[in-house]
Structure 1
Amino acid sequence: MSFNNIYDISGSAMNAQVMRLDTIASNLANADTVAGSEQDAYRALKPVFSAMYQTASGDTDTGNNLSASVKMMGIVQSDRAVEQRYEPNNPIANADGYVFYSNVNSLEEMADMMSASRSYQTSVEILGKVNSMQQSILRLGQS
């Protein structure tokens, strides 16, 4: 595995965590939104990632010089039920007096945000270590 592969792997991991943080930010921003129907209620977004394995030649077959990267497969909506509350005085309540709140769980989102931030930080640290290793190799070559 070359240093370039490490940069590519860490870069793809960092991009994945940025996408994860973007969806978390959207979820937290819409945590307390209400709607007049269940269909219109905001549903939490969750990114779906996949590990992509490649050999040095670019094939997806297994081999001795195998590397991996993270690929964003898409964003899906949470299947958790939205909260229905009886608020007949709310201007957007339906004919039965109910409003529908988003299915965002703020505690879960905050925990997920901390996890994504840590993962991003780990990728940055890996890049720093690789950079330090490359500098050490260059210093050895000058000796």
Structure 2
Amino acid sequence: MFQAFDASTSGLFAERMRMNTIANNLANAYTTRNQFGEKVPFRRRLAIFEDGNTKNSDPNLGVTVLDIVDDNADFRIDYKPGDPDAVTFSDIFETDSEGVPDFGKPKEPYQGMSQESLQELASREGYVLYPNINAETELVDAMMAARSYEANLSAIEISKSIISDSLSIIA
């Protein structure tokens, strides 16, 4: 009977971590620079779950947050010349000793972008890169996490009720 508590508790913890990750994504939806002030937008983060939880009495029950990983989807881009966060060629591509960009060698933060997105950026300067966060997707994920959290709470309440009813029958 207490295994139900273990499984539901691990689900509560996992969904809370997922909700925190979603809240962090929404809070950084327009963060266009990293902690060093470079023009590298925030990347959406995802909570990755794994079946089972070694902290439970039965390690095969429940769920564990395996990792929080960056989503490698392309950044959103918007053409805004003159914006202080607008990207220049030298921000995106490696440059030679004379400062001429090498369009075949994107810098590290941009290496994950698709060739199509890089070509669009290279076609003209003045693009602002925004995080790869879609508010609607995040809100749907938040609703799913909240419903999963509620389901785990209900499972705990039902387990408590069953234990209480069993004790009243015995006594």
TM-score, normalised via structure 2 length: 0.70
SS at match of 1:68: coil
2:64 to 59, 71, 77: 71
Mapped partners of 1:104, 1:46: distance in 2: 11
User: Which consecutive unaligned segments of at least 5 residues does structure 2 have?
Assistant: 89-124
Is the 2:3–2:57 contact (alpha carbons within 8 Å) kept by the matching residues of 1? no
Name the structure 1 match of 2:11: 13
How far the C-alpha of 1:89 sits from its partner, in A, is 2.0
How far the C-alpha of 1:84 sits from its partner, in A, is 2.1
User: Which consecutive unaligned segments of at least 5 residues does structure 1 have?
Assistant: 61-66
Classify 1:25/1:53 alpha carbon distance in 2 versus 1 (closer, same or farther; 3 Å).
closer
TM-score, normalised via structure 1 length: 0.82
Mapped partners of 2:53, 2:139: distance in 1: 31
Q: Relative to structure 2, which stretch is displaced further, 128-137 or 94-103?
A: 94-103
Classify 1:129/1:89 alpha carbon distance in 2 versus 1 (closer, same or farther; 3 Å).
same
Identity rate of aligned residues, in percent? 31
Structure with greater Cα Rg: 2
Matched, 1:107 2:100: no
Q: What is the aligned-residue RMSD (CA, Å)?
A: 2.0
Mapped partners of 1:76, 1:112: distance in 2: 16
Mapped partners of 1:100, 1:41: distance in 2: 6
Aligned amino acid, residue 140 of structure 1? I
Mapped partners of 1:103, 1:8: distance in 2: 35
How far the C-alpha of 1:94 sits from its partner, in A, is 2.6
How far the C-alpha of 1:86 sits from its partner, in A, is 2.0
Mapped partners of 2:83, 2:51: distance in 1: 46
